[in-house]
Amino acid sequence: MKLNTHTSRIPALLLAALHLSLVQLPTTASAAAPAISTALQPFVEKGDLAGAVALVASKDKVLAIEAVGFADRATQRPMKTDAIFWIASQSKPITGAAVMMLVDEGKLNLDDAVEKYLPEFKGQKVVAGKNADGTPLLKAPVHPITVREVLSHTSGLPFKSAAEQPTLDGLSLRDAVRSYAATPLIFEPSTKYTYSNAGINTAARLIEVLTGQSYEAFMDVRLFKPLGMTDTTFWPNAEQIKRIATPHKPNAAKTGLETNSISQLRYPLDDRAKRFPMPAGGLFATASDVAKFCQMVLNGGELNGKRYLSAKAVKEMTSRQTPASLKESYGLGWSAGATFGHGGALATNMSIDPARGLITVWLVQHAGYPGEGGKAQGAFVKAAQELFGKKP
């Protein structure tokens, strides 16, 4: 339906009826880019996608933000553009940026040994095979793990420690990092790549030791509040919980969707006594908040006249840090390439394309898709590039 912009000619009752019909639709389209909603709506109608918020931005403005489908398919709760999502590992680049602030300030060097600041890592061993009785053969690594290595998944730290059970948010950052220090490395530093929450969490612990602030307080004071990321938090409050999009997964027959929960986190989500901030994957946020962070990065570390990072720090963290001998291209908390960004466990994603000057933010809560739901993000990016991303 196309509305006449001269609304004064439409009777008030008809306007009210039209408004009611629009707000009840599961799709919220912006006038700027209905092509994005058009590209995504078929996935919702087929039952392959519960719902999504898709945002496109340049370095200085939001070009389009679209909400399609449902925040909860079972209850038919419509998706809205201010919906809140668990962005999971999209937390990693945000933590990486915070660590790079300390590098800018001269408080930290990327090639420093972690043990220089966290003495519990002194004497850490690496697994070098097995003893005759089948137990791990341990030896000293060629060099202690460095800040650069923990941020680039090349330290040899595992994904998590044995102590992080049954969820990943049950230990304080200090205790979690101590458990990593007590865990042998699974390979010699910088010889392999293993995706490691433990590495990113260790880097975040450096913030606490070097600043005297808790990690979460540093993030709030230095990034979230100044950038206007008002809905970005480790602990959604009661009002925010009402806006959280429900996780979905394919049903047993793979023919449709059913609701799910976030198995990596402890409930209730607003419990500050038993839940702790997880730098590698604990954040909740809206698409608009994620976009503000990405705009700061695309602007070389500056946004709205305030500098957060040096251009050198932005280039360093978004450039490949993994050795050329490895197939994985990863920066310092970022997936690195011609474009750079990061995804999350429930299929969220943010991507920055410097050549096009374009940011895309894709927020869903899907632990897998039935049918062709996995193609929905590609359809969004294609529509965004056709609309806004022509290379100069």
For 120-145, the pLDDT digits (tens) are: 999 999 999 999 998 999 999 999 99
Residue 34 pLDDT: 85
Same domain, yes or no: 160 and 226: no
Same domain, yes or no: 301 and 354: yes
Same domain, yes or no: 286 and 237: yes
Flag residues of the chain having pLDDT under 70.
1-33, 391-392
The CATH number of the domain where 337 resides is what? 3.40.710.10
Residue 91 pLDDT: 98
This prediction has a pTM of 0.90
Which residues, in sequence order, are bridge partners of residue 30? none
Residue 392 pLDDT: 52
Residue 389 pLDDT: 77
Q: Domain range spanning residue 304?
A: 26-92+215-388
Tokens at 198, concatenated: 């433990």
Helix axes 376-388, 34-45, angle to 10 degrees: 170
Same domain, yes or no: 207 and 343: no
Q: What is the pLDDT of residues 322-364, one digit of tens each?
A: 999 999 999 999 999 999 999 999 999 999 999 999 999 999 9
Tell me, what amino acid is at 363?
A: L
Of the residues 160, 193, 211, the one at which a domain ends: 211
Residue 15 pLDDT: 34
CA distances from 81 to 68, 256, 285, 364 (A): 9, 24, 12, 12
Same domain, yes or no: 383 and 255: yes
Same domain, yes or no: 179 and 132: yes
C-alpha–C-alpha distance, residues 222 and 211, integer Å: 12
Domains in the chain, number: 2
The verdict on residue 63 lying in a domain is yes
Residue 8 pLDDT: 37
C-alpha–C-alpha distance, residues 56 and 291, integer Å: 8
Which residue is associated with the tokens 């990405």? 294
Residue 290 pLDDT: 98
Give ∠ CA 190-196-202 in degrees, rounded to 5: 90
The answer to whether 83 and 294 have CB atoms below 8 angstroms apart is no
Tokens at 7, concatenated: 């609304």
Same domain, yes or no: 284 and 367: yes
Residue 391 pLDDT: 60
